[in-house]
A = this chain, B = another copy of it.
Amino acid sequence: MISPESPPLSDTPPPSPARADADLVISPGRLQAFSDGVIAIASTLLILDVHRPSRDEPVWSALRHEWPALGSYVVTFLVIGIAWIHHHNMFHRVARVDRTLLFLNLGLLATISFLPLPTATLGEHLTRQNAPDAAVFYALSMALSSAWFTAFWHHLTRHPELMHEAARGTAAQARRQSLLGPVGYLAAALVALVSPVGALVVSGLIVLYFIVGRRNPASRTGPESLPADAQEG
C-alpha cells in the first residue's frame, strides 16, 4: 500500500531543511497509501456485524429483520467511501507532511477503524428500546470522524507552506466546507433523540448530498490549476 512519490514540484522547496524531526519523515503518498489500507479494511469489516440467518430461521424473514443492520451497513459504507474521497482530495494538495498532519491522520484512522462498533450498535438496537442512545452514539461517531477534516484544514490554513503552491488559496474555503460533515451529523444526533430511524436517514441524506448534490463552483479555482502530477499523485 505504498505510492510513488510525485516528482518534486517546482514550487515546493526541497523537503530536507524543513524536516527537523527526521524520525517522523513520511511522504504524502505513503500516508495516503497506508490510510487507503485502513479505510478499505474498515469498510469491508462492516459486513461481519450483520447477523447471518441461522439454520432455524427462514432466510427472507431473517434478512427482513436485519434491515437495521443492513441499512446501517449501507450508510456507513458510503460515509467511509466519502471520507476516502475527501482524504484524497485533501492530500493531493499537500506537498509535505509535518508532525501535526501525521498525528491528525492517525486520529482520523483510529476513528474510522472505530466505526464498525457504532454501526453494529445501531444495527442491533435500532428497532429496540435503546434505539435513541444507539442512534446518538452512531451520529456522534460520524460527527467525530468528519470533524478531523476540519482540524486538518484548520492546520493547513495556518501552514500554507505544507501545500502545493497552486492549492494554497483553497484551504480557507475547504475548511469552511468541511464543517458540513460535523454540523450535519450533530444535527443527526439531535434528530436521534426524537427519531432514531430519522438519524440514520439524515446520515444517509448527508452522504447523498455529497454524492449527487454538491456542485462547488468556488473550488474550481483550486486544485485543477495544480500541475498535473500534483493532481494525479
Contact = CB atoms under 8 A, between A and B. Distances in A.
A158 interface: no
Given A73-B114, A113-B46, A117-B50, A34 B25 contact: no
Nearest to A112: B44
A215 B47 contact: no
A16 B85 contact: no
A101 interface: no
Nearest to A174: B23
A74 interface: yes
Interface string A85-113: 11011001000000100110010011001
A48 B116 contact: yes
Interface string A1-24: 111110010000011110111111
* Interface residue range, chain A: 35 or more
Contact of A110 (B77, B103, B214): B77
A22 to B, nearest CB: 4
Contact of A133 (B40, B58, B137, B212): B58
Interface in A184-223: 211-212, 214-217, 219-220, 222-223
A17 to B, nearest CB: 7
26 contacts: A1-B33, A1-B37, A2-B32, A4-B233, A14-B228, A20-B217, A21-B215, A22-B220, A23-B216, A24-B85, A25-B223, A33-B33, A34-B40, A41-B41, A41-B44, A42-B44, A47-B117, A49-B52, A52-B117, A52-B120, A52-B121, A58-B133, A59-B133, A85-B102, A103-B211, A106-B211
